[in-house]
Amino acid sequence: MKTKFVLLFTILLLSFSGKSFAQAPDDCAISLSYFTEPAKIKNYEAALPHYEKLIKECPDYNLAIYQYGVKMFEYFIEEKGDKSKVEDLIQAYRLRLQNFPEQTKEGDVLATIAQIKFDNNLGSKAEQFKAFDEAFTKYPEDFTSGKSLYTYFSLAVDLYNSGEKDLQEIFNLYDVVISKIDSEKNSLASKLTPLMDKEEAGNTLTDKEKRAKDVYDNNLGVYATVEGSVNATLGKLADCDNLVPFYEKDFEAKKNDIDWLKSASNRLDAKDCETPLSNKLAVRLHELEPSSTSAYLLGKQAEAEGKASKALEYFNQAADLEKDNSKKARIYYSIAENYRKKGSYGTARSYYNKMIDVKPSAGIAYYKIGSMYADSANNCGTTVFEKRAMYWLAADMMDKAARVDGTVAGNARAAASSYRQRAPQASDIFSEGMAGKTVTFNCWVGGSVRVPNL
């Protein structure tokens, strides 16, 4: 009897141990090691069987399962051309989200999976677009990939071309995507600007700050490229030849629709379409809802008619009423341009700076200030050396423009190079004995510049 009891107990113990062993932490740790060690040296063929064991028996053991899993399947797909692993790659992202939700951004996963499907031609264009649309609509804050933003928009244009979307849908999505790009650029520029200012003040950046600056620089360039690509994709769909008849045919039916009036007015203004429709839209909008938008558009009309003072009046009304920083920046730019064209450089600069305050990525504002500095060189100094020193300030402004805004970077860098060639050279600094000294400007520019040491 005692023997039977011991035998039964032993069988039960073994049975219990057998059930527990497959899920034991030590066993998961061993499997993880068997997987990650070859994965670290990119021996993914050896790692794959252990990954399959981990996702079955220890799916929530360690985040590294999916971090290395993604790299492994990307290798098989991109390096080996094995398209059969695409679904495995998608599954790896989904399993990470399922098992490590606190360490995973769902919006980022959805956008990544949508991009994988597009890159590998999985599903119809409508299905691919729907995947991007879900990611962007649900989690816009996580949707930060420039590549995915462009793919999202280009798919919509493809669907328009195939008759599956109408033109207004394309315009609406364009506004959303450009606004998102603008937001990301402003965020990066606001982080980059203090580092630029620190360098210009002669202070050395820490290694961490240098790395951050490089990242901000690179990402701003990426978004500038994406913005250009989105605009190119919209292309002829939004040129004046298409826009004017598109909005004219609906004016009577939509003339009491404030949102439609705003959209139509802004789009025609953005493309500088010269048409009587622009004035009709602006006047009607101001009648229905006097607002920043209507005041701005009336200001543009007055400006086009050569009524600079009236235009300024409307622009200032618009700036006071506007709450959206991107739109406020556009208004400040119009006011600044109005003053610049009249030769009121000091006032123009104040409005360009207001533009920068609300839109840090507004490289065009730095560019215009730099141009005004260069244009004022002959009026800002008592000696030839002092006058030419102004070009250093002008070049610095162009450097800032290029840093924060890729859309003006090429022209800004060319201008900066030209200005530095006009500034005092080493021989001038030596002959004038100005090395390391400070030149102060007593004209509208104000401030000073430190002459380089030889």
Kindly give the confidence (pLDDT) of every residue in the chain, 454 residues in length, as a single tens digit, with 9 standing for 90 and above. Answer: 444 444 444 444 434 444 334 445 678 999 999 999 999 999 999 999 999 999 999 999 999 999 999 999 999 999 999 999 999 999 999 999 999 999 999 999 999 999 999 999 999 999 999 999 999 999 999 999 999 999 999 999 999 999 999 998 999 899 899 999 999 999 999 999 999 888 878 889 999 999 999 999 999 999 999 999 999 999 888 889 889 999 999 999 999 999 899 889 888 888 888 888 988 998 898 889 888 888 888 898 888 888 989 999 999 999 999 998 988 999 999 999 999 999 999 999 999 999 999 999 999 999 999 999 999 999 998 899 999 999 999 999 999 999 999 889 999 999 999 999 999 999 999 999 999 999 999 899 999 999 998 7
Q: How many residues does the chain have?
A: 454
CA atoms of 213 and 192, how far apart (whole Å) = 6
141 plus 218 within the same structural domain: yes
The pLDDT of residue 402 is: 94
**Nearest 5 degrees, angle CA 451-CA 452-CA 453?**
120
Would the CA dihedral through 127, 128, 129, 134 be positive or negative? positive
229 plus 128 within the same structural domain: yes
The pLDDT of residue 236 is: 82
98 plus 143 within the same structural domain: no
Would you say residue 446 lies in a domain? Answer: yes
CA atoms of 273 and 239, how far apart (whole Å) = 8
The pLDDT of residue 375 is: 96
410 plus 364 within the same structural domain: yes
- Of all helices (H) and strands (E), which one includes residue 449? strand 448-450
Q: Which domain holds residue 437?
A: 360-454
Q: Is-contact 93 67, C-beta < 8 A?
A: no
Q: Is-contact 64 40, C-beta < 8 A?
A: no
The pLDDT of residue 25 is: 60
DSSP 440: E
The pLDDT of residue 15 is: 43
Burial class (CB in 10 A: 0-12, 13-18, 19+), 120: middle
* Listed residues 200, 235, 270: the one ending a domain: 235
The pLDDT of residue 199 is: 85
Which residue from 304, 298, 340 is spatially nearest to 316, judged by alpha carbons? 298
230 plus 145 within the same structural domain: yes
- How big is the chain by its Cα radius of gyration, in Å? 30
**Is the overall model pTM greater than 0.85, yes or no?**
no
* Listed residues 70, 104, 138: the one ending a domain: 104
CA atoms of 215 and 196, how far apart (whole Å) = 13
* Listed residues 235, 256, 291: the one ending a domain: 235
DSSP 61: S
Would you say residue 444 lies in a domain? Answer: yes
Into how many domains does the chain fold?
Answer: 3
The pLDDT of residue 4 is: 44
Would you say residue 4 lies in a domain? Answer: no
